[in-house]
Amino acid sequence: MSHCDPISDMLTRIRNAVRVEHPTVNVRASRVCESIVKVLQEQGYVVGYDRISVGSHDELVVHLKYGPLGEKVIKTISRRSKTSCRVYCRVDDLPKVLGGLGVAIVSTNRGVLTDQQCREQKIGGELLCTVY
């Protein structure tokens, strides 16, 4: 388990679980990871999540979403800002993922938001990941 970057660890676990079509995936809980999962739920990429206590730490059980014929809802989920190279964007520089069909998740001073919410509120921040 990665102790250095919990966000990358969470995204990798989700990516691997979607690849082999698991219904749920467990990730180590943190405030920023829970905020990212909330955004994914609001945007319709996951069904929901539960916070459970496992020994000395908490975990998030993320319920993944698939289409009616079993097609994957999350095609690609990738980390943009890393611990070694942070990526900050002004509101004008926020990327439009897949021409607006995907979502960029941004950490701002008002919480973790989507790129569309950042444009509406006219704020920028650290570009955490992109999903489509």
Query: Can you list the residues of the chain whose pLDDT is less than 50?
Result: none
Residues 6 or more apart whose CB falls under 8 angstroms from that of 9 comprise: 1, 2, 27, 28
In angstroms, the CA 7 to CA 125 distance is: 16
In angstroms, the CA 91 to CA 121 distance is: 9
Give the other-Cβ count within 10 Å of 122's Cβ: 9
Model pLDDT for residues 69-92, shown as the tens digit of each residue: 999 999 999 999 999 999 999 999
Q: Where are the domains of the chain?
A: 6-131
- Residue 63 is encoded by which pair of tokens? 């319920």
Domain 6-131 has CATH 1.10.1050.10: no
pLDDT of residue 2: 53
pTM > 0.75: yes or no? yes
In angstroms, the CA 70 to CA 76 distance is: 16
